[in-house]
Chains A and B, each alone.
Chain A
Amino acid sequence: MKKDVKTVLKDNTMVIVLILVYLFFTITTKGAMFLPMQFNALITQNAYVFILACGMLMCILTGGNIDLSCGSFVCTLGAIGGYLMVIKGWGTGVSIAALLVVSVIYGCVLGYLIAYVDVPPWIATLAGYLAFRGLGTQILSSNSSTGSIAPFPESFLKLFSGKIFSTKLNVLNVPCLVVGIVAVILLVVFSFRDRANRVKKGYDADPLGMVTAKVAAIGAVILLFAYKLAMAGGIPTVLIWAAVIVLLFDFITSKTTIGRHFYVVGGNKEAARLSGINTRMVMFAAYLNMAVITGITTFTVMARFQAANSTAGTNYEMDAISACFVGGASAYGGSGTVPGMLVGALLIGVINLGMSLMGIDANLQKVVKGVVLLGAVAFDIISKKKQK
């Protein structure tokens, strides 16, 4: 199946929108948006969305189901973490394990209610949305007069925040650049090997020119990021976490039978069931996974703010949901990809960052964000309709 330039562009509308928006802010901020610091900010400020949206995407794939409780759950988990580590003085490893156990328990309860009792996900997670915000705040206020718990132990902070091989600003960080170059080399090797394999076996393969262009474009972006991050002091630790999780979920959704089950359950639940797929187990797994992912997100958030407080995680669920939908996931389930979600999350992140740099009033920022999101998704849908 040969694709012309036009279809390639239409398949990647959101990427083009992302680039245009980035350019727009670079111009309006007189280049401030292009400074190394802002690349660093883009990653550290949005890492929670990248991670959380991986879990959310799995839920959405099963049929447009969402988890409203994850933001509030971040608050409660953070409060428990603060209580354990700061007040009780538990070790970092034990505390992390304890928090993950709490996540798994919540995930099992939620998954059981949704998958086996057939409570609608909306309702089940709305309950968590309310309850966990209250519970987290309660734990915090009964253990601290200020309503926030700090400081977290250094070993915990180092694990989830800060930089690897940190150097000063505007001094080229060599390890960071090396990682970037290695990533590009791996990309080149895998892309061309994959294509060569397909050609050898006689399957449909994209033309060499297209593969080259794609690899060149993605490679250039990676190198740009690597360079900018290298100039901003090195690789943010949280980027490693986000990258590992994003790559893992990309692999699961695109390459494994488990991932396929999620798509099929979302596409046609009855057909999936009659094909021998345990649809209830898939629903259960989606929400158990979501809770664990929320746990990991909590660690990065606590480490970044270096404190547990009652506003932690506010609107995180909405950020994750928007990233998925802006990234092309279907609101009815059955379609959506991790790379798409990533582009969606970046687009939202870029808009946030750009407007802050421009010094736009916070209230107005929300208005603009709403309009841009709606516009971007509408544009995407319209251009796809025309394609048909």
Chain B
Amino acid sequence: MAKILLEMKNITKTFPGVRALDNVNFKVEEGEIHALVGENGAGKSTLMNVLSGIYPYGTYEGDIIYDGEVCKFHTIKDSEKKGIVIIHQELALIPEMTIGENMYLGNEVGSKRNIDWDKTYAEADKYLKMVNLTESSRTKVKEIGTGKQQLVEIAKALSKHAKLLILDEPTSSLNEEDSQALLDMMLEFKKQGMTMIIITHKLNEVAYVADKITVLRDGATIETLDAHGPEKISEERIIKGMVGREMTNRFPKREGVKIGDIQLEVDHWTVQHPKYTERKVVDDVSIYVRKGEVVGIYGLMGAGRTELSMSIFGQSYGNLLNGTLKIDGKEIHLKKNDPADAIRHKIAYVTEDRKGNGLVLSQSIRVNTTLANLGGVSKHTVIDKDAEYAAAEDYRKKLKTKTPTVDQLVGNLSGGNQQKVLLAKWMFAEPDILILDEPTRGIDVGAKYEIYCIINDLAAAGKSVIMVSSELPEVIGMSDRIYIMNAGHIAGEMKASEATQENIMGLIIGRGQ
């Protein structure tokens, strides 16, 4: 048996009123990739924050034994000195600075008063090569994509001489291709003797890289599974540990839904990039949705899915060059850059970026729920606060949003509950056509299931649902029909019953050349 590099013993961490971690035990062997899984709020991030010194020694109970000695970290610097480096989920790079400046931020090369920039960039380039980045470290971070930014984060971690690398949801903002490259890189590092902890929601990634899997639930360790053990660990097996019950079907069945006439029809839709007008972000796309139908649009990041969706939604993205839009067979001309016009025509666009452009985090659930349909709770522009409260309360119950009151600020809710508020906002606008852009991004398995149930209810109520997603199992499991999008084009269309992950990816790769 290999040496135990890290052992966290009986860790208990309490916040006012909440016991976030309860006697957690966690062991990591040297040279392994250890996956830490659990639903949102299970305590994964808290545990890693305890380990890295963000919650300093003394604010928690229990011991951290690293490399044979008991450690008392007071700051992140203390843990980094020992070679424990954490890469957080949200990228923490400053876009206006160069890659090199970012990598050595707070860790500058040279003397205190005089930073040695030549050495900084030379060192930075060395580490960039290790993560297969060809960019110069003098490139500004804003000029490279998110995938590469994630690699810069890893290079930054390497530059701190990491022995134990912790990656918190490293692929949450990456497309499939970049995710794969990152996972392969992890396996490469493993060969070179690096120890890693990966926190992720994506169980296929766990299956791909992890040697051991520790499941956390409600702040307690449930079990540690050995991926190389005699018994093969299935995704269902892991999910069972995470949610505490058997989830035989991750995608609820939609039964007895009558699919009706074509409600929305988009033909030869071509959209120009708002700045680089020579680029056609959406190129000659023709799609349709029937009442009661859930249509999936699958594509890798950059395929033009979000751009297509936002363009249909009152041309709120880019310039429309060509194309017609029909609702119930009648041609409609939506005003440019006017979501209000789209809402009047009963179209809703539920954004993929709930924090960025979906919700007002500093306002309450009540205010957010009625945002797209304030007219529904007001008379002569005067808001009926009681009616508004009742509406918000109604959707809280319908969607099972977990909150003490609808006057709670949305910023204080978990990701899954925020997503429900976002859905509530658009359901309250009473649309006939819903475009759901990545409706389950960044939320845990249990909440995902609930969102799927809501989508099924919408379809059952005769709404036309377009579900944009970059998760293949989700697209296949939830759609009636699937469009595959690649590089602005529709690369193919198939019934969900005929779709497999292989033939969808085949279409994309075939077209991509």
Contacts and interface: CB of A to CB of B under 8 A. Distances in A.
A268 interface: yes
B383 A255 contact: yes
B357 A255 contact: no
A271 B339 contact: no
A170 interface: no
Contact of B381 (A257, A263, A264): A257
A163 interface: no
Nearest to B341: A276
**Chain A contact residues, majority secondary structure:** helix
Nearest to A258: B381
Contact of B362 (A197, A275, A335): A335
Contact of B358 (A255, A271, A330): A271
Given A274-B351, A278-B340, A267 B374 contact: no
Contact of A275 (B372, B389, B390, B404): B372
B483 interface: no
Contacts of B342: 276
Nearest to A197: B386
A268 B343 contact: no
B17 to A, nearest CB: 12
Nearest to B349: A274
Contacts of A1: 404-405, 407
A272 to B, nearest CB: 7
B62 to A, nearest CB: 26
Given A203-B389, A256-B382, A260-B367, A273 B339 contact: yes
Nearest to B406: A204
A277 interface: yes
Contacts of A30: none
B363 interface: yes
Contact of A277 (B340, B367, B381): B340
A158 interface: no
B378 interface: yes
A203 B407 CA distance: 12
A319 B304 CA distance: 50
Contacts of A276: 339-340, 342-343, 372
A118 interface: no
A274 B357 contact: yes
Contacts of B390: 203
Nearest to B354: A271
Nearest to B355: A268
Contacts of A201: 386
A81 interface: no
Contacts of A268: 357, 359-362
A267 B356 CA distance: 11
Interface string A254-290: 0111101001100110111111111000000000000
Contact of B363 (A204, A255, A264, A278): A264
B371 A256 contact: no
Contact of B356 (A197, A198, A270, A272): A270
B316 interface: yes
9 tightest A-B contacts by CB? A270-B357, A276-B340, A267-B360, A275-B372, A268-B360, A257-B374, A276-B343, A275-B371, A276-B339
19 contacts: A198-B386, A255-B382, A255-B385, A256-B378, A256-B381, A256-B383, A258-B381, A260-B383, A263-B367, A267-B360, A271-B356, A271-B358, A273-B316, A273-B339, A274-B351, A275-B343, A275-B371, A278-B340, A335-B362
Interface of A: 1, 197-198, 201, 203-204, 255-258, 260, 263-264, 267-268, 270-278, 330, 334-335
Given A256-B381, A274-B316, 4 more contacts: A264-B367, A267-B360, A276-B342, A334-B363
